[in-house]
Structure 1
């Protein structure tokens, strides 16, 4: 790989040997490889497969061009230095200059208040890019987007009632048309480089499109992208009103709470279905990485968040209805080790004998593997089945809703059980359990 990269960099005017090549951890879709060449630091960003990129609305050539235009307009974005061609033998992608700092959420969330203003300014700058110079970007109309999610839901089985509840709400709460702007599509903590407490660059432009700028504002405020900062809805850094004012002061449009709420629900449904699609990608062979099957189990996180977003539209009596128990009595093992115990033994062995021998991406993948073992172990101990196609169909058809007696309590109980097995460390789980236990 080093030899092939040297030829690419030489073509771009950066002559020298490739050194310190390493794959970066994280990244749910794309591969990122950091390396040094000719005295500079760079990052190779490429697709995991040609099949995967073929199904994506925005090609990597379009993504590279968008980053170029954003960089030229003063948005804190990487500099694209080279694009791959088939003869390079490296797949599909491009090379960028390496930005200073880190995308580690813990670093971002411990930064001073100025970081929130930096993010608002960057969003406003992205939304100010000229759409007529980026006509290759896909367009997202809210109504068409919702129906696209509905089709994706059916393709994923159409059997998750909490997602059906979100889809039904979206269909009933479509916002009026808004002038299209360039939307980053994945603007959140974790995709933003932070250096010395300030924003140094915006990463991961693969989901960019033309649409409503409030989508970017809402997406970064989702619970999942606040990494435990439940008390600071504005990207985990501040409150939404302060973020919105900073965005408007930087040239962004006036804040519309109704549009913000629509996109908050929309992207929560979108990510729930995105998680499920990871499992489909693994089954089809498009990407057989372990990460795919583990991320698929994160769907339950978004189902919890959907209930927390929408439950206030239920009648008071339904919000106060006790949550039925789905727990099963613990069973004491006295004979041969059970399957769950064997999984625990394997996980402990990996931690004791393998973990210290790994670093970088491999160490991160070990953590994913241990997480997978934990999911299976907890499922064996008892996990409510989140699938109920008949109920999902009733919700989409309007035959059942949050006004239906006992529906909210049932969905709460199932979601708590599913999420406790799949992702028990999700920050919103404990507070939700405490809140609902008071009903």
Structure 2
């Protein structure tokens, strides 16, 4: 923090005039970028940055283009933040930009506990505004997404990660079989969901995190915030965890959005769930390669299990009714009573308890967040040791991806359901969809 204070003060002096920096603190969360809150001359700001140019390698565009897009969206009537300055190479803080701080709630749990009455309509309206931005207003460098090419890239990534997860293989094959015709491209935010919007008492206050924006199918944005994972436990409210799909679609169309195609919406719901499953795997790969050695990366890597569960829940309706009603096979019972010297599980438990009692209470800000993530990581290891490490099934994955195996095969859906239930119980036991799936599948 102290290393950032001096160059940030110098930057703000050049950008907005002399002043004093105060209240600098790193905000929790942010899977890809750092966010720092601070005050300058009595006003609040947020620095969004990557610590180095190397961190941005492989991304379709940098922060200069992203900042230009945020400015264009705001000028077009979208509730985007106000960008006040963009970092340059000589500023010594990596790449990024500074925005005026918005006073509103961003925590999905807090928002969804009592969403403002207008929120579902606000979400539909704001997305229609994003999609209506004219092509001429969108800065150069924003890529155009070809859905078929993007799906092929996901498949290649899956194979590079081992190609051994049947639920992901099933989803790839389904997407290939249901690929929609190309749509007239519009500006797609790419990450439009709870966690990336700010809300106050009057409704939606801001749309954040534009780093995944591209030109593509409007239905991609429509579906993304409706994924199970982004409803944060509010599974009875399929649109963002806030309301009904009918109200959401009606608000979007009333604000000028195109007519919603339900089949195209379903494709993107499956596609983006698949995309996030591979995104989680990619974060694990980033840790393994040394590109990002934070403990958060390995924990997010294990959240692949949530998306595998969701993919089976989305796709099991493709199976014959008899297979959907088939009882699940039992889980393997590997429970053992420890004897002798402490087991690996007990040693991990001791370290986890020490972090909880000695480290977490003294930590503040992002350090406290990291302590909680470390405890979560050790909890996963403990449950994995209890259950025994189950191998993935590459042979079945290959058969599903080639179409040689389908959900019409007797007993296959039941096996897939059991596998994703057991895996999610280890990696994300508090995931809301896990309890729902157990009840639906009578596990």
Q: Please, what TM-score do these two structures have when normalized by structure 2?
A: 0.96
Q: Name the structure 2 match of 1:361.
A: 366
Report the secondary structure of 2:368's partner residue. helix
Report the alpha carbon displacement of residue 111 of structure 1 after superposing the two structures with TM.
1.6
Report the secondary structure of 1:126's partner residue. helix
Report the alpha carbon displacement of residue 289 of structure 1 after superposing the two structures with TM.
0.7
1:182-241 per-position Cα deviation (integer Å, ceiling 9, x unaligned): 000000001111122511111100000000111111000000000000000011000111
Bigger mean CA deviation after superposition, 359-368 or 348-357: 348-357
**What value does the CA root-mean-square deviation take over the aligned residues?**
1.3
Note the 1:319-358 alignment, pairs <5 A.
319-358=324-363
| Counterpart pick for 2:40 among 37, 41, 60 | 37
Q: Name the structure 2 match of 1:118.
A: 122
Q: Name the structure 2 match of 1:407.
A: 412
The answer as to 2:152 corresponding to 1:150 is no
Partners of 1:318 and 1:405 within 8 A in 2: yes
- Cα distance in structure 2, aligned partners of 1:250 and 1:386: 49
Bigger mean CA deviation after superposition, 37-46 or 332-341: 332-341
1:301-351 per-position Cα deviation (integer Å, ceiling 9, x unaligned): 000000000001101121122211223142222432211122222222222
1:31-51 per-position Cα deviation (integer Å, ceiling 9, x unaligned): 111111111111111125433
Report the secondary structure of 1:354's partner residue. helix
The answer as to 2:49 corresponding to 1:76 is no
Report the alpha carbon displacement of residue 102 of structure 1 after superposing the two structures with TM.
2.1
Q: Please, what TM-score do these two structures have when normalized by structure 1?
A: 0.97
| Counterpart pick for 1:141 among 146, 157, 163 | 146
- Cα distance in structure 2, aligned partners of 1:176 and 1:349: 55
- Cα distance in structure 2, aligned partners of 1:329 and 1:85: 56
Q: Name the structure 1 match of 2:398.
A: 393
Bigger mean CA deviation after superposition, 380-389 or 81-90: 380-389
| Counterpart pick for 2:428 among 420, 423, 426 | 423
Report the secondary structure of 1:206's partner residue. coil
1:225-267 per-position Cα deviation (integer Å, ceiling 9, x unaligned): 0000000001100011110001111111111101100000000
Note the 1:49-64 alignment, pairs <5 A.
49-64=52-67
- Cα distance in structure 2, aligned partners of 1:220 and 1:45: 22
Q: Name the structure 2 match of 1:128.
A: 132
Partners of 1:107 and 1:194 within 8 A in 2: no
Report the secondary structure of 1:32's partner residue. strand
User: Is there any run of 5+ residues in structure 2 with no aligned partner, and where?
Assistant: none
- Cα distance in structure 1, aligned partners of 2:225 and 2:133: 20
Q: Name the structure 1 match of 2:184.
A: 179
- Cα distance in structure 1, aligned partners of 2:434 and 2:51: 32
Q: Name the structure 1 match of 2:90.
A: 87
Report the alpha carbon displacement of residue 390 of structure 1 after superposing the two structures with TM.
1.6
Say if 1:49 and 1:417 are closer, same or farther in 2 by CA, change over 3 A: farther
1:41-88 per-position Cα deviation (integer Å, ceiling 9, x unaligned): 111111254333111112211111100001111111111111111111
Report the alpha carbon displacement of residue 175 of structure 1 after superposing the two structures with TM.
1.2
Partners of 1:327 and 1:417 within 8 A in 2: no
- Cα distance in structure 1, aligned partners of 2:307 and 2:391: 12
Partners of 1:160 and 1:386 within 8 A in 2: no
Say if 1:48 and 1:430 are closer, same or farther in 2 by CA, change over 3 A: farther
1:75-113 per-position Cα deviation (integer Å, ceiling 9, x unaligned): 111111111111110001111111111210122212222
Bigger mean CA deviation after superposition, 307-316 or 111-120: 111-120
Partners of 1:386 and 1:414 within 8 A in 2: no
Partners of 2:82 and 2:99 within 8 A in 1: yes
Q: Name the structure 1 match of 2:108.
A: 105
Report the alpha carbon displacement of residue 176 of structure 1 after superposing the two structures with TM.
1.8
| Counterpart pick for 1:65 among 62, 68, 71 | 68
Q: 4+ residue runs of structure 1 moved beyond 3 angstroms?
A: none
| Counterpart pick for 2:305 among 276, 300, 303 | 300
Partners of 2:334 and 2:387 within 8 A in 1: no
Bigger mean CA deviation after superposition, 287-296 or 42-51: 42-51
